[in-house]
Amino acid sequence: MPHYRLAFLGFGNVGRALARLLERKRVSMKVHYDVSVSVTGIATRRHGYAVDPGGLDVQKALGLWELGESIAPLSIFDVKDSLAVLHHSGADVLFETSPVNYDSGQPAIDHCRTALQIGMHVITANKGAVVHGYRELAALAATKGKRFLFEATVLGGTPVFSVFREGLPAATLTAFRGVINSTTNIILSQMEAGKTFDEAVKYCQGIGVAETDPSNDVDGWDAAVKVAALVTVLMDTPFTPHQVRRTGIRGITPAMIQEARAQGRRWKLIASAQKTGEAVHATVEPQMVDKESRFYALQGGSSGLEFSTDVLGELAIIESDREGLPPGPEPTAYALLADFLNAVRR
Amino acid sequence: MPHYRLAFLGFGNVGRALARLLERKRVSMKVHYDVSVSVTGIATRRHGYAVDPGGLDVQKALGLWELGESIAPLSIFDVKDSLAVLHHSGADVLFETSPVNYDSGQPAIDHCRTALQIGMHVITANKGAVVHGYRELAALAATKGKRFLFEATVLGGTPVFSVFREGLPAATLTAFRGVINSTTNIILSQMEAGKTFDEAVKYCQGIGVAETDPSNDVDGWDAAVKVAALVTVLMDTPFTPHQVRRTGIRGITPAMIQEARAQGRRWKLIASAQKTGEAVHATVEPQMVDKESRFYALQGGSSGLEFSTDVLGELAIIESDREGLPPGPEPTAYALLADFLNAVRR
């Protein structure tokens, strides 16, 4: 049975959810894919670094993290940074979940490049690495006979990139449109329920889906980065978030929300792109949708995209949040697992 | 460059749309997948049989078909049935699009079995072959190192089976729900627009989406067969259409439609299944949905499914019809092409 050694650069909510998911799916991976795994390297931002090519005790690492302690005592080498973890882990696969840098994609791109160079598959949840490093990293992966996969970067665990790669071969994507930022969608849903913008932002901070500075979400940056990633990969056109015409939701007032409601409509932060010839035009902006729109029923932490191709009618892929629960890291962690299984099976 | 010889058993709307699509995608297949194809066998129901291992002139075959003439003059062998076409075509891949038999899956199962036994990949649009032959044919394909694929059987060209195979590895499907029969959805949409049931059926017959005897659609048989295929494959539980609790749409009156409308609701023929332990419970029945349902906006020839798994929120995959155009065979033909590329690449 093939055994794969895994390195985690980043051990935040998503990385730790993946560590727990790998444990939960251990038997299923063995039975259905004949695959077993061990974690041989972990790099955290505030809890240190640990490496053991023979396999780290992941339960202990999770426990130390919860206790606010360093994971360094688990390490058999004295490692002091992420690249050292990569080099000493002996890993076959890197899971890159370090914090996103919208402007440069660093240091995630360095992590991914190094891992590919020393012969690892690279699986990332990092949008910055895709937007700023896709062509280089995809080409490097091809040269090395490895995979560079990033399903987790857009729509959490919902398959998008793999649907085009595997489900829609030889299809040409001409346009897409959707709701791809959960935080703003929760804010708008909360405002429909009567909250002010500030109250809705506070609500999102309270359930852990908005940061102290909510600008990346409410000003449309997160959506713009995702649009850039989708355009770069699925339309095969390098594209940066700065090329996206971007309007956030700060201008949406409770009065506008109620006015839309009175017309049977709703405000949504809609991300879209169209390719005409070689030119791509992309926007992120609030739009009113009516009840005949598939986005009307997309409330709270739900998100979804519709795609125009040359071979089908409009294809929509939508993930709804689970019955009022705030969006958690589990679906994103699942996307990393799915990429891993696609990288190693066959 | 790998070259693949293709046999078509069935040359109806879907088979002929595939022949045209292969021509349209010739360059794209060469550039992106390094694949070229020729058609070496065609079996039709009313226009005869043709075989040429060196490659048939597909344009001529399409032309003869349009003229109502036999394609037999194109053949270099005197072949008189579908199995003879398979044996003499020298094909690497079978496209099986013969008419569906809901009760036995024949003769499609025999076609698929024979093709796999002589070493072809088998790609089918035939729901009967999946419902009645899945386990046998999938096992035979595995033994032969070939693929048995059938994306075209449910939701036309929209990827469903490949999403679970490639996009959702190690996920457990616990339930699904959706609108999976276009004809009944068009009938219900037409009734909302004021037609009676009989007028709506006539409309569907006029645009070519309902047969002279519309029973298979309006009594829910087509939906039940698709449910059985989804349960059999995605829930790994053999299931027949007769096990689906089935109610068609003949009981839906214009008064019921208007009453729903007055409440801001719509009638939809909803197909669903839930797996609890090893037991699967499946139904096809008209249900009223309100505007918060994702199926509310699914009008006319649109169709879609939502899936409950152990790893994501509700995942919905929806295909909308193109701006009022009646559903044509092109998306289904595309699903056959996608399966083909998935079978031969790598």
Task: Write the pLDDT tens digit of every residue in A159-205.
Answer: 999 999 989 999 999 999 999 999 999 999 999 999 999 999 999 99
Residue A189 has which token pair? Answer: 């849903």
Give, in degrees to the nearest 5, the angle at Cα A327 between A293 and B306: 45
Q: Which of A163, A312, A319 has the CB atom closest to B313's CB atom? A: A319
Residues of A within 8 A of B291 (CB-CB) are 291, 296-297
Q: Which of A33, A156, A338 has the CB atom closest to B168's CB atom? A: A338
- The amino acid sitting at A203 is Y
Q: Which of B162, B171, B306 has the CB atom closest to A167's CB atom? A: B162
Asked if A321's CB is within 8 angstroms of B311's CB, the reply is: no
pLDDT of residue B325: 65
Pick the closest to residue A38 from A78, A74, A8 (CA basis).
A8
Q: How close are the terminal C-alpha atoms of chain A, in Å?
A: 13
- The amino acid sitting at A41 is G
Q: In this model, does residue B144 exceed pLDDT 90? A: yes
Residues of B within 8 A of A154 (CB-CB) are none
pLDDT band at B346 (very low <50, low <70, confident <90, very high): low
Over range B122-131, report the average pLDDT. 97
A4, A317, A332: best mutation site toward chain B, by most B Cβ within 10 Å? A317
Which residue bears the tokens 């003499």?
Answer: B88
Which residue bears the tokens 């309902």?
Answer: B210
**Total H helices, total E strands in chain A:** 13, 12
pLDDT of residue B154: 96
Asked if A316's CB is within 8 angstroms of B318's CB, the reply is: yes
In angstroms, the separation between the Cα of residue B317 and the nearest Cα of chain A is 5
3-state secondary structure chain B: CCEEEEEEECCCHHHHHHHHHHHHCHHHHHHHHCCEEEEEEEECCCCCEEECCCCCCHHHHHHHHHCCCCCHHHCCCCCCCHHHHHHHHCCCEEEECCCCCCCCCCCHHHHHHHHHHCCCEEEECCHHHHHHHHHHHHHHHHHHCCCEECHHHCCCCCCCHHHHHHHCCCCCEEEEEEECCHHHHHHHHHHHCCCCHHHHHHHHHHCCCCCCCCHHHHCCHHHHHHHHHHHHHHCCCCCCHHHCEECCCCCCCHHHHHHHHHCCEEEEEEEEEEEECCEEEEEEEEEEEECCCCCCCCCCCCEEEEEEECCCCEEEEEEECCCCCCCCCHHHHHHHHHHHHHHHCC
Asked if A159's CB is within 8 angstroms of B167's CB, the reply is: yes
In angstroms, the separation between the Cα of residue B202 and the nearest Cα of chain A is 24
Q: Any bridge partners for residue B290, and if so which?
A: B265
The DSSP 8-state label assigned to residue A326 in this structure reads P
CA A239 to chain centre: 18
Pick the closest to residue A307 from A124, A167, A187, A189 (CA basis).
A167
Contact A141, A122 (CB under 8 A): yes
Q: Which of B297, B322, B338 has the CB atom closest to A292's CB atom? A: B297
Q: Which residues of A34-57 are buried (b: 16+ CB within 10 A; e: fewer)?
A: ebebbbbbbbbeebbbbbbeeebe
Which residue bears the tokens 């015409």?
Answer: A245
Q: Which of A168, A314, A341 has the CB atom closest to B170's CB atom? A: A341
Tell me the residue ranges of DSSP E strands in A85-135: 93-96, 121-124
Residue A46 has which token pair? Answer: 């505030």
B26, B317, B345: best mutation site toward chain A, by most A Cβ within 10 Å? B317
CA pair distance A257, B103, nearest whole angstrom: 54
pLDDT of residue B203: 95
Asked if B319's CB is within 8 angstroms of A313's CB, the reply is: yes
Q: Which residues contact B66 (CB under 8 A, 6 or more apart)?
A: none
The model's pLDDT over B290-306, given as tens digits with 9 standing for 90+, comes to 988 989 989 999 999 99
The DSSP 8-state label assigned to residue A93 in this structure reads E
Task: Count interface pairs A-B at CB distance under 8 A.
Answer: 159
Q: In this model, does residue B324 exceed pLDDT 70? A: no
Which residue bears the tokens 């360095």?
Answer: A110
Q: Which of B158, B314, B345 has the CB atom closest to A320's CB atom? A: B314
In angstroms, the separation between the Cα of residue B290 and the nearest Cα of chain A is 10
Contact A228, A241 (CB under 8 A): yes
The DSSP 8-state label assigned to residue A151 in this structure reads G
Asked if A156's CB is within 8 angstroms of B312's CB, the reply is: yes
CA pair distance B173, B156, nearest whole angstrom: 21
Q: In this model, does residue B52 exceed pLDDT 70? A: yes
3-state helix, strand, coil in chain A (%, to 5): 40, 20, 35
The model's pLDDT over B10-28, given as tens digits with 9 standing for 90+, comes to 999 999 999 999 999 999 9
Asked if B156's CB is within 8 angstroms of A167's CB, the reply is: no
Q: Which of B33, B171, B293 has the CB atom closest to A169's CB atom? A: B33
Find the closest chain A residue to B30 by CA distance: A170
Q: Which of B297, B315, B331 has the CB atom closest to A158's CB atom? A: B315
Residue A155 has which token pair? Answer: 């729509």
Residues of B within 8 A of A318 (CB-CB) are 294, 306, 315-318
pLDDT of residue B1: 76
Q: Which of B302, B304, B342 has the CB atom closest to A166's CB atom? A: B342
Asked if B171's CB is within 8 angstroms of A167's CB, the reply is: no
CA pair distance B264, B276, nearest whole angstrom: 33
If residue A113 lies in a helix (H) or strand (E), which one and from where to where?
helix A108-117
Give, in degrees to the nearest 5, the angle at Cα B269 between B151 and B160: 20
Asked if B311's CB is within 8 angstroms of A315's CB, the reply is: no
Find the closest chain A residue to B159 by CA distance: A167
Asked if B306's CB is within 8 angstroms of A320's CB, the reply is: yes
The percentage of residues in chain A with a pLDDT greater than 70, rounded to a whole number, is: 98
Q: Is the peptide bond before B107 cis (omega within 30 degrees of 0)?
A: yes
Rg of chain B taking only CA atoms, in angstroms: 21
Asked if A306's CB is within 8 angstroms of B33's CB, the reply is: no
The model's pLDDT over B205-263, given as tens digits with 9 standing for 90+, comes to 998 888 889 999 999 999 999 999 999 999 999 999 999 999 999 999 999 999 999 99
Asked if A337's CB is within 8 angstroms of B170's CB, the reply is: yes
pLDDT of residue B317: 96
CA pair distance A29, A20, nearest whole angstrom: 14
Residues of B within 8 A of A315 (CB-CB) are 158, 317-319
Residues of chain A with pLDDT under 70: 322-326, 346
In angstroms, the separation between the Cα of residue A307 and the nearest Cα of chain B is 9
Q: Is the peptide bond before A214 cis (omega within 30 degrees of 0)?
A: no
Query: Is the alpha carbon torsion for A1, A158, A167, B124 positive or negative?
Result: positive
Asked if B293's CB is within 8 angstroms of A291's CB, the reply is: no
Contact A272, A177 (CB under 8 A): yes
Q: Which of B165, B291, B320 has the CB atom closest to A314's CB atom? A: B320
Asked if A159's CB is within 8 angstroms of B168's CB, the reply is: yes
Residues of B within 8 A of A158 (CB-CB) are 312, 315
Residues of B within 8 A of A329 (CB-CB) are none
Q: Any bridge partners for residue A303, and if so which?
A: A319
CB atoms within 10 A of CB A195: 17
Residues of A within 8 A of B320 (CB-CB) are 294, 306, 313-314, 316
pLDDT band at B328 (very low <50, low <70, confident <90, very high): confident
Asked if A316's CB is within 8 angstroms of B317's CB, the reply is: yes
